[in-house]
A and B are shown apart, each in its own frame.
Chain A
Amino acid sequence: MTSTNIIEKSRAISTAAERLAVRCKGLVKLYSDVIAVNGLDLEVRAGECFGLLGPNGAGKTTTVEILEGLTAPDGGAVEVLGQAWGRGDDHALRERFGVALQETQFSEKLTVEETIRLFRSFYPRGRSVEEVIQTVELAEKRRARVGKLSGGQKQRLAVACALVSDPELLFLDEPTTGLDPQARLKLWEIVEEFRSRGGTVLLTTHYMEEAARLCDRVAIMDHGRVIALGTPLELIASLGADKIVEFSATGALDNESLANLAGVRSVHKRDGEYLLTVSDIGAALTALVAELKRERAELITLTTHQATLEDVFVSLTGRMLRDE
C-alpha cells in the first residue's frame, strides 16, 4: 500500500462517524408485474458490516444491483459513498467499491492469477495481484484454470477480484450460498480481514448464522421492504425471549391456549409443528406437559434452542427464511 493510500484510508475512517457509505430512500423497482423493491429505506454507515437478510425473492439482489449502479431504480434516491448514480462521475465512483455478484462465472480458461490481473488493470489504484492472492489463500491455485476450482475457491476468486482495487466499500451478494461449512468459514475470515482494514461491507444472505457472525447491523427484508432493523442481538432480544421450543404432538392443540401458558410469549404453527417463543423455559415446559395431558395429546418430538435471527423472521412473517 502506498503512503497516499494510507492517508486516504485514514481520512475515510475519520469521516466514518458522519459519513454514510450507502443511503437510499423510498427505493422502488418494478419488473413487469412484480414489485421487486417496494419503498426501501437503507443506511449503511462507513466502516460497518451491514447485512440484508431475507428469503429468496425478497428483493435483496435487486437492491444491491441498484446500489452497484447496474440497475436503474424506478423510484427513490440512492447515494453510494456520498455520490448519486448518473451525475456524470459514475466512472470515478466505480473505482471506489468492489463487487462480488451472485454466481459470476469467470472465464474458465484463464488462470486465477490472469483473472485477478485482468481486474486489477481496470483500476488506477489498488493492491498488488500477489497480495490479493495471498489474502484469499489462492497462492497454490495461482496457475490453476478457473474451470478447475472448487465452489469455495471460485467464490474466493470472486472476492479477490472485488478486493484488488482496494475498495472503500465491498458488495457481496450471497457470498457463501452453496458452499460447505469450511469454505464458508474461510470466506468469513476474508471479509473480517477486509473490515479490519477499515472497509465497509454490504452483504446479502439467507443464512442467519452468517448475518449473526459477520454483521454489525442487519436489515430483515421481505417482499421488497425492510421489516426489521438492528444489531443481531437487538433483533433477537426483540422477541422478548431467548429460547424456542419446537414440538409436534398427536391431536389438535389450540394456539390460543398454548399462548396463554406460563412463560410462553407467542405461538406459531407450521406443517403440524408448533413453535413456542419462550421467556422462561422451565415454567413453559411444565405448563406444556400439563396442557398436553389435559388435551389427551401425546408428544411426538420436542426440541429447544437459543433464539436466532431465523426465529425473528418466523415471528415477523410466519414463514421460514428458506421456505421459498
Chain B
Amino acid sequence: MSEAQKDSIQNINESTSNVKQSARGASQSIAQRSSERFHPLVELTLARVRDFLREPEAVFWVFIFPVILTVALGIAFRNTAPEKNRVAIESSSVNDVKAAELARSISQSPDLQAVVMSSEEAAQALRTGRVALIVRGQGSGIGDQGDASAAPHSTSAEVNAELSSAADSLPPAFDYRYDPTRPESRTARLAVDDALQRAFGRKDVVSAREVTQTEPGARYIDWLIPGLVGLNLMGSGMWGLGFAVVYARMRKLLKRFAATPMRRSHYLFSFMLSRLIFLVLEVAAIIGFAWIAFSVAVHGSLINLLIIAVVGGLMFSGIGLLVASRPKTIEGVSGLMNLAMVPMWLLSGTFFSYTRFPEVLQPFIKALPLTALNDSLRAVMSDGAALQSTWMHLSIMLAWGLVSFALALKLFRWQ
C-alpha cells in the first residue's frame, strides 16, 4: 500500500469518525450544546448559579435560616390571650391560709396571676423580673416588723381568719413593692389595687362594657416580616457575594479571568444577575411561610413587592461587591461586612422602630440602605401603598446600588 493510499484511508477513517462524532453530538445534548456559544454574561451567571446550588450549606443559610428565624420570632411574639402579670404575695407577713386566699382573689382579675412566696423568694423574683410586684400585708394586726416578731401575730391572725371572712374588722393595709420604670409593674400595680379594693368590698360606681379587637395587620409579626425580608436580602446579598469574590481572588481565579478578554463589568454584573434568581425564591420562602404559619398578608400588589425586592437585592449586591472589591482574605472581608451590616441591623428598624432613636439621627438612619428597603417593603406589605408613594426609598436604593457598583468596578482588585 502506498503512502498516498494510506493517507486517503486514514482520511476516510477520520472523516467517518467525525461523522460519528457529530451524529453522537446531535443525539447528546451535551455535545450539541458545546458547539454553541452563549453570551459571556449568561455563562458567568450560570456558573454563579451552579456554584451556589452545589453548595448545600449556602442553600441552607439563604433559604432555611430565614424561615427558622421567622418561626422563632413568630412564636416568641405570637398573639395568644394577653399574658397575665405575675405578682407575689409575701407569706411571712400574712398567715398561709390568708395569703392563699389573697392570691385567689387577686388571681380572679383577668390580668393577674398571684403566687405565694417567702419574702426572700419574692425579693429575688422581683429583682429578676419573674414577678412584676410584691404585695405585703401591713396593719390589721398583720405586722411587717420582720419574721421573728411576725410569727406570734400570724398565729393570732390565723384565729381571726377562721372567725371572720376575708374582710377584716379593721381596714386592711398593704404595701406594693415594684419598680416604676417597668411598664408591666405599673400595670400590675393598677390591677392589683383594683382587685384588692373590690375583694375588700369596694363598689364600682360606673359600669363599663369592654369591646376588644385584634386585627391581623396590626400585630408585631405583621410589622416584623417585611423587616425580616429586608434583613435577609441584605445578608444573603452581601455575604453571598463577598465570600464568593474573595474566595475567587484567593484562588487566583480572578487573575486568570483578568488574563482573558472577558469584560470586567460582565463578571461583576453576573453576580448581581445570579442574585436576582435566588432573591425571588428567598422572598417567596419568607412571605409564603409567614402567610401559612402566621397569616401575615401582603396588602399591596405582589408585583410592587417584587420590584422593591429586586431593587433592594441589586442594591445590596452592589454594596457587597464594593465591600469585597479589595480584601485578600476571608477574615478581611468578614470584618468589613460586619462593619457595614451591624449598624443597619440595629438602626434600620428591622426588629423595632427606628423612631425610638434621637431626632438628630433620623435623617442619617433614613438614608441607610436597609432602612429604605424596610420602609418601602412595609409600605407595600402592611399599608398596601402604591409604588409611586415609595419613590423616595426606591431612589435612595438605586443610588446606593449604582454608586457602589461603579466604585466596585473601579476599585476591584483582580489579583
Chain A positions within 8 Å of B, measured between CB atoms, are 68-70, 91-92, 94-95, 99, 101, 103-107, 109-110, 113-114, 117-123, 128-130, 133, 142-143, 145, 161, 165
Contact = CB atoms under 8 A, between A and B. Distances in A.
A101 B256 contact: yes
B262 interface: yes
B202 interface: no
Given A103-B252, A142-B30, A69 B259 contact: yes
The 3 closest A-B CB pairs, nearest first, are A129-B34, A105-B251, A109-B54
Nearest to A165: B260
A3 to B, nearest CB: 16
Given A101-B256, A121-B37, A121-B40, A109 B25 contact: no
30 contacts: A69-B259, A91-B261, A92-B261, A94-B259, A94-B261, A99-B256, A99-B259, A101-B259, A103-B252, A104-B253, A107-B47, A107-B253, A109-B50, A109-B54, A110-B51, A114-B46, A117-B33, A117-B43, A118-B43, A118-B46, A118-B47, A121-B38, A122-B40, A122-B260, A123-B260, A128-B35, A130-B34, A130-B35, A133-B34, A145-B54
Contacts of B42: 121
B55 interface: yes
Contact of A101 (B21, B35, B54, B252): B252
B372 interface: no
Contact of B31 (A109, A120, A130): A130
Contact of A110 (B33, B50, B258, B261): B50
B390 interface: no
Contacts of A70: 255, 258-259, 414-415
Contacts of A91: 261
Interface string B16-35: 00000100010000110111
A49 B38 CA distance: 33
A109 B251 contact: no
A114 B50 CA distance: 10
Contact of B255 (A104, A117, A120): A104
A123 B50 contact: no
Contacts of A104: 251-253, 255-256
Chain B CB count within 10 A is highest, among A104, A109, A122, A165, for A122
A301 to B, nearest CB: 42
A208 B39 CA distance: 42
Contacts of A123: 260-261
A165 B35 CA distance: 13
Interface of B: 21, 25, 30-31, 33-35, 37-40, 42-44, 46-47, 50-51, 54-55, 248, 251-253, 255-256, 258-262, 414-415
B258 A128 contact: no
Nearest to A133: B34
A95 B40 CA distance: 14
Given A95-B261, A118-B43, A113 B415 contact: no
A109 B55 contact: yes
B35 to A, nearest CB: 6
Contacts of A133: 34
Nearest to A142: B30
Nearest to B415: A70
A144 to B, nearest CB: 13
Contacts of B37: 120-121
A122 B256 CA distance: 12
Chain B CB count within 10 A is highest, among A120, A143, A145, for A120
Given A118-B43, A121-B43, A109 B35 contact: no
B362 to A, nearest CB: 44
A128 B50 contact: no
Contacts of A118: 43-44, 46-47
A106 B259 contact: no
B34 A105 contact: no
B274 to A, nearest CB: 13
Contacts of B44: 118, 121
Contacts of A114: 46-47, 50
Given A104-B252, A106-B256, A118-B47, 7 more contacts: A99-B259, A104-B251, A104-B253, A104-B256, A118-B46, A121-B42, A130-B34
A143 B34 CA distance: 13
Chain A CB count within 10 A is highest, among B252, B261, B262, for B261
B260 A110 contact: no
Contacts of A117: 33-34, 38, 43
A321 to B, nearest CB: 24
Contacts of A161: 256
B45 to A, nearest CB: 10
Contact of A113 (B34, B35, B38, B262): B34
A107 B252 contact: no
B262 A122 contact: yes
B34 A128 contact: yes
A298 to B, nearest CB: 52
Nearest to A71: B415
A68 B415 CA distance: 13
A29 to B, nearest CB: 14
A94 B256 CA distance: 12
Nearest to A116: B34
Nearest to A118: B43
Contacts of B54: 109, 145
